[in-house]
Amino acid sequence: MFAITGITGQVGGVVARSLLAAGKDVRAVVRNAAKGAAWAAQGCAVALAEMDDAAALTRAFAGCAGVFILLPPIFDPDAELSAARAVARAVRLAIETARPQKVVCLSTIGAQATEFNLLTQLQWLERELGAPALPLTFLRPAWYMENAAWDIAPARQGVVSSFLQPLDQPLPMVATADVGRVAAELLQDSWSGHRVVELEGPARISPNQVAATLGRLLGREVHIEAVPRDTWEALFKSQGMRNPLPRMRMLDGFNQGWIKFEGDARAVRKGEIPLEAVLRGLIERP
């Protein structure tokens, strides 16, 4: 049995479907029965647990050959990142108590960065989960290509804005389907101790390339503009964010190059799905 958290999201859903296709038993860890109904219909067991509830997570992880951990997205955290800390503690306690045979934890490129930013949440998760002595893999994927979902509507009008800059700077990006597929493969591996697996797509991609690919798929010219750094805080607050600094520092990290892969570039695993396929899927969404 493999317990999958975050199963209702893009990555967790791919992990679960990949395991089911391989003939594995899957336990969907969800917040309520309604969210688990679709997975129960596909043959999954269902366990109810909030990600900060150690006792419920312990029950969900009990007797499992493997567990997939996905921190719920927290895009506007408080200054102490307290929600992420609470989840990290609960997950660690659950793993220490339930003792699954192995764990794959979804982390991020740049989890090792020393400068505080939005991704520091995953660094703390890695630190917490580093305590239990069991086979553990931290999967650190690049920037998700699906982040371009926000660009589809403005691209149809001919202009998109980019917080990633310079616009001609190629960055490591990856499709969420590749992340989920690789996570499922890792769960079926055998290894000992703790390891880090870094993952990016087939080629690095610049914001200019994203705009050009959108233009080609939409059949029109798409112009891209860099959003000036000195406007970010006011813009994010106008969109409802209370504490935009972690997000701003994350973007700085990508733009300035200190959010990067930690290991040798030759050891970074490569995904299979190209940008064009991801953007086409986003454009075709109903």
Instruction: Quick: pLDDT tens for 112-166.
Output: 999 999 999 999 999 999 877 899 999 999 999 999 999 999 999 999 999 999 9
**Residue 26: beta bridge partners?**
2
Q: What is the DSSP letter of 24?
A: -
Burial of 230 (0-12, 13-18, 19+ CB in 10 A): exposed
Q: DSSP readout, 92-117?
A: HHHHHHH--S-EEEE--TTTT-SS--
Residue 202's domain comprises 2-284
Asked if residue 165 lies in contact with residue 223, where contact means CB atoms within 8 angstroms, the answer is no
Whether the pTM exceeds 0.85: the reply is yes
Please report, to the nearest 10 degrees, the dihedral formed by the alpha carbons of residues 181, 185, 187, 191 taken in order: -150
**What CATH number did the domain enclosing 164 receive?**
3.40.50.720
pLDDT in tens, 72-99: 999 999 989 999 999 999 999 999 999 9
Q: What's the number of domains the chain is made of?
A: 1
- Please tell me what DSSP assigns to residue 160: E
Nearest in space to 184 (alpha carbons), one of 139, 119, 146: 139
Residue in this structure with the two tokens 């106008």, named with its chain if needed: 238
